[in-house]
Structure 1
């Protein structure tokens, strides 16, 4: 049975909500917008600091996007908004979410993933393999992306910053994860792609930090407290 493909209607309105938050409520500088392909499938992968990362990045991507979001976020009023926005719920092992994400990519649209899997320091030192699997299966380019400023040292991962805070989102050059011929077998290809994706994201974070006075938080309270994950 084919997975239900999220409707394009959700991102058509919800990205304007995200844009309002990014541009009006907070002062978000956006770099590298042209690195997001104007047409066709693309996977935006971003480091993860705090609660507002999702709506901010969703709002500044120059196209509609469907983000993979952990089921724990899909409750209450926020969950209702996310579902109406046709974001993709990640539950359990995430197989259904990945199937939906692949369907979106095959339709020629954009998927967003926070591959660290949880809000924290945003250093991308460890990433999960879902985005790499999507890249291998779809052939879609991956756009490594950095977000900085949404959480500062000592702040909760659930912080809703005061209006006017300065943020930065920087889209890097797209990367196509095509395993070389000597890498054979599904698992080997997956591991190869996951390593390349993680390295591309780490390099993008490092390059961004070299060109801004904004800094990543020095603490990682979610991991230190052994808390649960929130986004895939």
Structure 2
């Protein structure tokens, strides 16, 4: 039940205004406000978004927004159209550029809630999950794509279990999100956005606590499958029944099979 999920999450964290204030600098607050004030109206004009279920996103406390992934603009679409500030993972390169272009990139991505991380599995992926967990423990909203990377054929791929690890570790509810039309605004490989209508649907919060502990691979797998089923119900996408971008060699396929329920198997930032 949505309210049960939200109440359970509230029991796992206590808001500490002094701690949260220390984590958010004045410049970041300004960049966030400026991005929303300037980019949001522009995005609404260009994308003409249809937003469904905004009331399903809790106004306060930790929450995970788990979405399908179809385009580069998915993260900006979610963060700009959600009813509250949302953080998400993004490539570290967006924050390391030089000159005016680098400064603008840092201001934009930082302003819309991006967290710079290195690509990779294992330690890099666990670090990315830990950054997400920090945001949740601070009572914030965090967006993640269980598929790991963008779908090239429009199908919905099997979810990586990092989303379940975050939910079961933090106690945060998971709000399934379905994006439709973002693939038309900026298809994979396209650099210039196009005019198209976008639909963003927020489903009812899911309480994953009944699946077990975060340390259990079986619990993470079943919880992730439940999240993906909820996303599929909203998006109407054809289930692919496999992971996205499978390893090319037999050796890598064997390695992937052994770590298929490992939450650090792959966390792919935008």
Shorter-chain TM-score tier: 0.7 to 0.9
Q: Which of 228, 248, 259 pairs up with 1:198? A: 228
- Give the structure 1 partner of residue 87 of structure 2: 66
- Give the structure 1 partner of residue 175 of structure 2: 143
- The answer to whether the 8 Å contact 2:211/2:223 transfers is no
SS in 2 for 1:22: helix
- Give the structure 2 partner of residue 168 of structure 1: 199
Q: 1:132 to 1:159 in 2, by over 3 A?
A: farther
- Give the structure 2 partner of residue 212 of structure 1: none
- Give the structure 1 partner of residue 54 of structure 2: 33
Partners of 1:189 and 1:135 lie apart in 2 by: 11
1:193 positional shift: 1.7
- The answer to whether the 8 Å contact 1:18/1:58 transfers is no
1:223 positional shift: 5.0
- Give the structure 1 partner of residue 13 of structure 2: none
Partners of 2:200 and 2:65 lie apart in 1 by: 12
1:23 positional shift: 0.8
* Residue 179 (1) aligns with residue 210 (2): yes
SS in 1 for 2:217: helix
- Give the structure 1 partner of residue 128 of structure 2: 97
- The answer to whether the 8 Å contact 1:123/1:202 transfers is no
Alignment of 1:1-80 (within 5 A): 7=24, 9=29, 11-71=32-92, 76=97, 77=102, 79-80=105-106
Partners of 1:62 and 1:134 lie apart in 2 by: 21
Comparing 153-162 with 44-53, greater Cα deviation is found at 153-162
Query: How many positions carry a matched residue from both structures?
Result: 211
Structure with greater Cα Rg = 2
Alignment deviations for residues 145-174 of structure 1 (CA, whole Å, 9 cap, x no partner): 1111112499434353324x2111111111
Partners of 2:245 and 2:172 lie apart in 1 by: 31
TM-score, with normalisation over the residues of structure 1? 0.75
CA RMSD of aligned residues (A): 3.3
Gaps of 5+ in 1: 210-215, 217-221
* Residue 114 (1) aligns with residue 141 (2): no
Gaps of 5+ in 2: 1-21, 239-243, 249-265
Q: When you count helix as a share of all residues, which structure comes out higher?
A: 2
TM-score, with normalisation over the residues of structure 2? 0.66
